[in-house]
Homo-oligomer: A and B are copies of this chain.
Amino acid sequence: MVRVVEPSSITAVINTADDMVLHGLHISPDIDTVTYTLAGLDNKETGWGIAGETWNVHAELGRIGGKNWFQLGDRDLATHLYRTQRLSEGASLSEVTAELARRRGVIARLLPMSDDPVRTRLTIATDTGSEDGDAEIDFQDYFVRHHHDVSVSAVRFAGAENAKPAAGVVEAVESAERVIVCPSNPLVSIGPILAVPGILDVLQRRRAQVVAVSPIIAGTALKGPADRLLRELGSESSALGVARLYAPWVSTMVIDEADRELAHSIEALGMRCVVTPTIMSTAERAESLAREVVGVVL
């Protein structure tokens, strides 16, 4: 997207319900992934962390028997130390996010969905065979420690009801030329943003300008548990299933060519449907998709 439009014209509203405190450090995985990606630091092999990272702290933590299921690289750790120190000094997550983005040379504006704590909590299904059956666990515990390889029976966003959108979030949606919903997990990445009071309202008001890219292609998610979670939580794991969830506040669905036969059903929901290649396997393909999404006539 930053290759297609002027980066300074972009505001990214980022899920913070995956945030966690580990070793006393405030970790914001989604903010960091967006920051590292836009700074050109992202590790393209793993899909998380910093390219060319070193693991000295992690290795030592393992040697002394510390919790190290959540891998923290040395450069990545500096981000968490910085954030935690600034938060302890009274800075808001928005301020810290802006500081870190600026220090990393990111031009686009990055906003956490909220400065208030919201935490995704997943209930693990009892039939899952896991020792955590019927327990409610944190997102990173589910995603990283369990490798999202357990059945989920419920998801909630603890704290969302009392959270306020971060300063600028509602205004950005209100004034945006278009609002693009990235091909992210509808339930646990987009869902928490919608759960912050005020955000869904403004999206509904701007529905005509909201374009979503389906994260489901030919029934499956390219990565992560979106397909499985959709099925487990009562939706259909397809671009149509996503469109049904989004229809109240999204006017335009962008779906992959592999799902061309779903276009009519999506249009029957009262949505526009654009069919195009959506697999961002290279920076060039990502740029083409961004160009397509930006070019959709609304």
**What is the interface of chain A, defined by CB distance below 8 A to chain B?**
21-26, 54, 56-58, 60-61, 63-67, 74-75, 77-82, 84-85, 87-88, 99-100, 103-104
Query: What is the copy number of this chain in the assembly?
Result: 2
Instruction: Report the bound CA distance from A80 to B85 in whole Å.
Output: 14
Residues of chain B lying within 8 A (CB to CB) of residue A74: 54, 56-57, 60, 74
Known: A24-B24, A25-B23. A77 touches B77 (CB 8 A): yes
Q: How far is the CA of A255 from the CA of B22 in the complex (A)?
A: 47
User: How far does the Cβ of A268 sit from chain B's closest Cβ, in whole Å?
Assistant: 50
Q: Known contacts A64-B100, A74-B60; is A84 also within 8 Å of B24 by CB? A: yes
Query: Given the known A-B contacts A25-B23, A25-B25, A64-B100, are A57 and B84 also in contact in the complex, defined by CB atoms under 8 Å?
Result: no
User: Across the two chains, which residue of chain B brings its CB closest to A25?
Assistant: B24
Chain B residues near A75 (CB-CB < 8 A): 56-57, 60
CA distance A119 to B88 in the complex (A): 18
CB within 8 Å for A81 and B100 given contacts A23-B25, A26-B24? no
